Amino acid sequence: MLRIYNTMTRHKDEFQPLQEGLVTLYACGPTVYDFPHIGNLRTFLWSDLLARMLRRRGFEVHNVMNVTDVDDKTIDGAEREGVSLGEYTQRYADYFFEDLDRLRIEPAWKYPRATEHIPQMLEVVQTLVEKGHAYEQDGSVYFDISSYPRYGRLSGVVPEEQTSREFGRLDSDEYAREDVRDFVLWKAAKSGEPSWDSPWGPGRPGWHIECSAMSIEYLGKTIDMHMGGVDLIFPHHENEIAQSEAATGQEFVRYWIHAEHLIVEGEKMSKSKGNFYTLRDLLDRGYDPVAVRHLLMTAHYRKQLNFTLEGLEQSQQALARLWDFADRLAEVPADAQGADLSAQVAVARAKFDAELDDDLNVPGAMAAVFELVRDVNPLLAQAQVGAEGAEQVLDFLADADAVLGIIEHERGSVDEEVEALMAEREQARADKDWARADEIRDRLLARGIVIEDTPTGPRWRRTE
C-alpha cells in the first residue's frame, strides 16, 4: 500500500483516492518567461514519476499541470522585447515542452493556460466577494485573510493581526515569507498591460487564483494530490487553500506533496556564480538528457539534491552499463539453456515495489534494478543465462522502466567501415593471426568501439 508524506499532516499517510481507480493530481507548472532551469525540471520530473507510479499500480490518472502565461514576469518580458504577451509566452512554452520531451516526462492529462481560463477565475473571485472573503479597492480585489481562520495550516505561518487594510494588501504576484497580508485576486489594469473585462473594471488575475480556478475546472472542488516545490508552500499553496476552500466550502486537497530544492556543486544555483544550468546548457556540453533524468532522480524527492557535473558523468556511465546489460540479454539465443533466474527477479520486483510504496522512494527502486544487474551480469559473461531467464529479466526491466523512464534506448549502429573492420578481425582470429586481431581491436577502440569476446561470439559497445 502506498504511503506518501503529506505536508499538511506532516507524516506519511496511507493513500486512498476519493474515487476508486482514479487519482486526481494537480502540479504547479512553469511560468513561461524564460528557459526552465534544472531545479524547475527536477520538480516537474517528480510529478511525472508520481503519475507513472500510480498508473503502474493500475490507477487512471487525471494529472493537470498549469502553464502561467500572464503575470508580472511574462508581462515585463514581453514589454522588454517589444512583442505581444502571447508571442512571448508561446516561445517559452514551446521550449518547456521540448525539455519535457527530452527528459522523457510523459504528457500530463491537461495543460491549461491561465489566459484561456479568465472566466473561471472571475467566477471564483466573484464567489469570494459574495461570501465576504474578498473586497474591492480601486478596481482590484483582495482576499481578506482575517475571514479565513484556518489560514496557515499548511505552512505554519500565523497571520498577523491586521489593523489597517491600507497597509495590509499585497499586489505583487510573489512575495517574501514574512509578508502575511491580504493578497490580490484581481489586479486593476495598468497602462500598457494586457487586461480583461471584469465586474470591477478591466484588469488581470493575480497569480494565486489561477491554480485554484483551473484545478476546480478540471478536477473538481476536492482533489487527491497537489504537487510542487517546497518554495511554493508559502505563499502560493497556502493562498490556494484559503481562496479555494473559502469559495467552495470543501476541502481543497487531501495530500500535499512537495519536492526539495536542488543545489549545484554544493551551492545555491545562481547565474552570478556560474553554476546555473538549463537542460540546453547541459546538452551543449555533450550530456545525454536521459543521464540528466537519472541524476535528478538519485536523491529522494524530499531531500536536497547536489547536482554536479561529476555526478552527471557517473549517471552516463551507469546508464551505459544498464543499456549494455539489456542489450546482452536481448542477444541471448532463443534456444539457450541456463540458470533459473525467477528467484532473483522476484526479489528485485518485491524490493522495487516496496521502495516505491514507501513515499515514492525512486532511488531505492533504482537500487533494486542495479542490484539485479550486479547479480546477473556474471552469469551473462559465462553464457549461463538461458532464453527463459533472459526474458524474465527483460520483462522486469520493462516493468520498472514504466516508472523510471531510463532503460529503453536505441542501441545505434556502426558505419560500414567499422563493420568491415570487425569482420576482418573475426577472420584474423579464425586464421589465428592474433597480432592482426589485436591491431584491429585497438583501431576500433580509437574510434570509440569496444569489442568483447564472449562464449556466444564477439559483441560491440561504445565506450562510456
- Do residues 282 and 205 share a domain? no
Total number of domains constituting the chain: 3
- Do residues 191 and 177 share a domain? yes
Q: Does 411 map to a domain?
A: no
Q: How far is CA 362 from CA 49, 72, 107, 293, 402, in A?
A: 8, 36, 20, 12, 12
What mean pLDDT comes out for the span 295-321?
97
- Do residues 244 and 313 share a domain? no
Name the nearest CA neighbour of 403 among 10, 138, 76, 49. Answer: 49
Cα 455 from chain centroid (whole Å): 42
- What phi and psi, each to the nearest 5 degrees, are found at residue 198? -150, 170
Burial letters for 21-58: b for 16+ Cβ neighbours within 10 Å, e otherwise?
A: eebbbbbbbbbbbebbbbbbbbbbbbbbbbbbbbbebe
Q: Does 218 map to a domain?
A: yes
- Do residues 425 and 391 share a domain? no
Q: Which domain holds residue 422?
A: 416-462
Residue 417 binned pLDDT confidence (cut-offs 50, 70, 90): low
Query: Prior bond to 235 cis, omega within 30?
Result: yes
Q: Does 96 map to a domain?
A: yes
Contact yes or no for 18/222 (Cβ under 8 A):
yes
pTM of the model: 0.88
Name the nearest CA neighbour of 316 among 346, 360, 286, 337. Answer: 286
Q: Which of the listed residues 404, 429, 445 is the one where a domain comes to its end?
A: 404
What mean pLDDT comes out for the span 145-170?
74
98: which 3 cell numbers?
A: 521540448
pLDDT at 153 over 80: yes
Torsion sign (Cα): 234, 237, 241, 242: positive
**pLDDT per position as a tens digit, 176-233:** 555 678 999 999 999 989 999 999 999 999 999 999 999 999 999 999 999 999 999 9
Q: Which of the listed residues 227, 259, 291 is the one where a domain comes to its end?
A: 259
Q: Which of the listed residues 365, 384, 404 is the one where a domain comes to its end?
A: 404
Q: Does 365 map to a domain?
A: yes
Q: Does 409 map to a domain?
A: no
- Do residues 63 and 167 share a domain? yes
- Do residues 393 and 269 share a domain? yes
Pairwise pLDDT comparison (413 vs 117), residue with the higher score: 117
Q: Which residue has the cell 485573510?
A: 145
SS (H, E, C) the chain: CCEEEECCCCEEEECCCCECCEEEEEECCCECCCCCEHHHHHHHHHHHHHHHHHHHCCCEEEEEECEECCCHHHHHHHHHHCCCHHHHHHHHHHHHHHHHHHCCCCCCCECCEHHHCHHHHHHHHHHHHHCCCEEEECCEEEECHHHCCCCCCCCCCCCCCCCCHHHCEECCCCCCCCCCCEEEEEEECCCCCCCECCCCCCEEECHHHHHHHHHHHHHCCCEEEEEEEHHHHHHHHHHHHHHHHHHHCCCCEEEEEEECCEEECCEECCHHHCCCCEHHHHHHCCCCHHHHHHHHCCCCCCCCEEECHHHHHHHHHHHHHHHHHHHHHHCCCCCCCCECCHHHHHHHHHHHHHHHHECCCHHHHHHHHHHHHHHHHHHHHCCCECHHHHHHHHHHHHHHHHHHCCCCCCCCCCCHHHHHHHHHHHHHHHCCCHHHHHHHHHHHHHCCEEEEEECCEEEEEECC
pLDDT of residue 149: 93
- Do residues 136 and 222 share a domain? yes
- Do residues 268 and 254 share a domain? no
Cα 420 to Cα 457: distance, rounded to the nearest angstrom: 17
- Do residues 156 and 63 share a domain? yes
- Do residues 210 and 269 share a domain? no
Residue 363 CB neighbours (<10 A): 14
Contact yes or no for 106/116 (Cβ under 8 A):
no
Q: Does 277 map to a domain?
A: yes
What mean pLDDT comes out for the span 418-438?
76
Please report, for the domain that includes residue 354, its CATH number: 1.10.730.10
Residue 139 binned pLDDT confidence (cut-offs 50, 70, 90): very high
pLDDT at 275 over 90: no
Residue 330 binned pLDDT confidence (cut-offs 50, 70, 90): very high
Cα 202 to Cα 197: distance, rounded to the nearest angstrom: 4
Contact yes or no for 103/289 (Cβ under 8 A):
yes
- Do residues 34 and 53 share a domain? yes
Please report, for the domain that includes residue 250, its CATH number: 3.40.50.620
Q: What does the chain come to in residues?
A: 464
Name the nearest CA neighbour of 243 among 140, 158, 73, 123. Answer: 123
Say which range, 31-35, 237-241, 273-277, 374-378, has the weakest mean pLDDT. 273-277
Which residues have CB under 8 Å from 459's CB, separation 6+?
A: 327, 328, 331, 451, 452
Percent of the chain past pLDDT 90, that is, above it, reads 80
Residue 266 CB neighbours (<10 A): 9
- Do residues 268 and 246 share a domain? no
pLDDT of residue 434: 81
What mean pLDDT comes out for the span 403-425?
76
State the burial class of residue 67 (Cβ atoms within 10 Å of its Cβ: 0-12, 13-18, 19+): buried
Q: Does 410 map to a domain?
A: no
Q: Does 449 map to a domain?
A: yes
